[in-house]
Amino acid sequence: MSYAQRVMDRLSVIKAGEPEFLQAAREVLLTIAPLVDKDPKYEKHGILERMVEPDRSINFRVTWLDDKNQVQVNRAWRVQFNEALGPYKGGMRFHPSVNLSVLKFLGFEQTFKNSLTGLAIGGAKGGSDFDPKGKSDAEVMRFCQTLMTELFKYVGPTMDVPAGDIGVGGREIGFMVGQYKRITSLHDGVLTGKGVVWGGSLARTQATGYGAVYFAQNMMEGVGKTLEGKKCVVSGSGNVAIYAIEKLHQIGAKPITCSDSKGYIYDEAGVDVKILKQVKEVERARLTRYQELRPSAKYVAADSYPKGRNGIWDVPCDVAFPAATQNELNGADAAALLKNGCQCVCECANMPCDEAAMEAFLKAKICYSPGKASNAGGVATSQLEMAQNASMVKWTFDEVDKKLHGIMKDIYTAAAETAKEFGDPTNLVMGANIAGFKKVASAMIDLGAI
C-alpha cells in the first residue's frame, strides 16, 4: 500500500470526528501520491505524518457582555498549522459553524496555498463560533476586544499574522487591531486587511475576488478561450463574491447571480455591483433588499431549492465561481452545471466543491481550479501589506494590482506545468497540490526533525 494511503488510513481512524479536515487531507494526500511514492525521502523524514498534525491548536473562551448586559460565552481557536516556510498566516472566521475540524481543514489548505504564492509564509487559521449577524457594532467590538485580549499572546508580525475570512471584514479587523495596540503599544501591522489610512494595503479588499478572476482568465487562455462575454454564475455575496463580480464586469464578462445562505439573486442584465455593495457592505442586509432596489432581478429563496441541492447551480452558465463556503456545490449540482454546458469552474471559496463534484469536473476535463490556487490572491496581497508595513512604504493600487496579476499567473503556471509533468495536464488539483507540497516538504527536510 502506498505511503500516502497508509498515512490517510491512519488519519481516518484517529481523526474520525473531523470530517472537513479528513476531506481536505484526503484530497491532498491522494493527489500527491505519484510524487511521494516515487521518492523514499518523504517517508524517511516522516513528512506526511508531520504535515497532517498542526504545530499547535490554541483553544480559549471568549466571555463578553451583550447590549442587555447579559454574559455571553463563545469558543475561539487559533490553529498554527505549519511554519516551515515562514510566519504563520491565515484568516480568522466568525461563524456559528466554526469548530476545530473546520479550522484544521482551513489551516491545512492554507499551508499549501501560501506555498503556492511563492512567498515566505506558513499556514494557520483561526476563528470563533460567534455570529456577527444581528449583533450591534458595540457587541461586535466587545467580542473582538475580548478575543484579542487572549489572542495577542500568540500573534506578532514575524510570528503569526491573522487576517479576515467569513464574518471578519474591515470592522472586525479594526476592533481587533485597536485592542492589540491598546495592550501592547505596538504598531507593527500584526493583522492584515487593515483600513488603508491605518496601515492597510490598497487593493487588499479586492484581492481575493480579483485574483480569482485573473486565475480564471489564465485557465481559459490555456485552452484557447476567453472570459469575455461569458455568462458567469457567482455564489456568495460577501467580500470575495462582490469583488469577483466587479472584476468580471470590468473584463467584459457577465456575472448574473449572487447568493447568501437564504437564497440567490438572478439578474439577467448583470448583477449591479453598486447596489450589491450598498446592501451588503453598507446596510448589512439580506439579498431580498437587492431585489427591492432592483425589481427587474429575480430572488429565489433557499427553501424552494430541490432537496439536497443548491439551486443557484441550476442557472445555465459558461463559468461558475463558487465564492460562499465549503461544500456548497455537490455531485448533483456539478452534474447540473455540466449538463447546462459549463466550461469552467473557478473555486473562490475554500473547498466549495465536495469530493463528488471535484471528481465530476476532473472527469469532464473542463477548466477546474482548486480554491487553494485560485483564491490565493487574498493571502498574497496580505503578504504585500506585511511588506509595506515592514518597510514603512505605501504602494499605489495599480502597483499592488500588477503584483497580484503576476502572482496569479505564476500560480497558474506552476499548477499547470506540474500537472503536465505528472501526466494529467488538465488536473490542476493534482498540479497545485504537488507544487505546493514540494516546497513545504523541502523546507521541513532542511529544518530537521522538529
Binding characters for ligand NDP, 180-219, by CB under 6 A (x = yes): ----------------------------x-----------
42/214 with CB nearer ligand NDP: 214
Give the span between the Cα atoms of 172 and 362, in whole angstroms.
Answer: 38
- Find the part of the chain contacting ligand NDP (CB under 6 A) among 139-147, 153-161, 258-266, 395-403: 258-266
Q: In this chain, which of 117, 206, 239, 383 binds ligand NDP, going by CB under 6 A?
A: 239
- Annotated catalytic residues are 125
Binding characters for ligand NDP, 371-390, by CB under 6 A (x = yes): ----x--x------------
169/436 with CB nearer ligand NDP: 169
Strands 319-321 and 344-346: parallel
Q: Which of the residues 275 through 314 are near ligand NDP (CB under 6 A)?
A: none
Q: In this chain, which of 86, 236, 311, 436 binds ligand NDP, going by CB under 6 A?
A: 236
Q: In this chain, which of 74, 146, 237, 388 binds ligand NDP, going by CB under 6 A?
A: 237
Q: In this chain, which of 82, 146, 350, 389 binds ligand NDP, going by CB under 6 A?
A: 350
Give the span between the Cα atoms of 406 and 347, in whole angstroms.
Answer: 19
Residue nearest to ligand NDP (CB): 238
Kind and range of the H or E run holding 298:
strand 298-301
Contact of 431 with 415, CB cutoff 8 Å: yes
Provide the minimum distance between the beta carbon of 240 and ligand NDP in the complex, in angstroms, as a whole number: 4
Binding characters for ligand NDP, 165-184, by CB under 6 A (x = yes): xxx-x---------------
Q: In this chain, which of 324, 373, 384, 444 binds ligand NDP, going by CB under 6 A?
A: 324
217/239 with CB nearer ligand NDP: 239
Alpha carbon separation from 333 to 347, 384, 387 (Å, rounded): 14, 36, 41
Is position 370 an interface residue for ligand NDP (rule: CB under 6 A)? no
Determine the length of the chain: 450
What cell was used for 338? 455540466
Contact of 239 with 347, CB cutoff 8 Å: no
The sheet with strand 122-128 has its strands ordered as 56-65, 71-82, 122-128, 88-94, 160-163
Contact of 261 with 302, CB cutoff 8 Å: yes
Is position 122 an interface residue for ligand NDP (rule: CB under 6 A)? no
Burial class (CB in 10 A: 0-12, 13-18, 19+), 439: middle
Diameter of the chain by CA atoms? 63
What cell was used for 112? 499549501
240/271 with CB nearer ligand NDP: 240
Shortest CA distance to 156 belongs to which of 104, 191, 129, 107? 191
- Find the part of the chain contacting ligand NDP (CB under 6 A) among 22-30, 150-158, 173-181, 345-353: 345-353
Provide the minimum distance between the beta carbon of 289 and ligand NDP in the complex, in angstroms, as a whole number: 12
DSSP reduced 3-state for 293: helix
Burial class (CB in 10 A: 0-12, 13-18, 19+), 101: middle
227/312 with CB nearer ligand NDP: 312
Binding site for ligand NDP (CB under 6 A): 164-167, 169, 208, 236-241, 260-262, 323-325, 328, 348-350, 375, 378
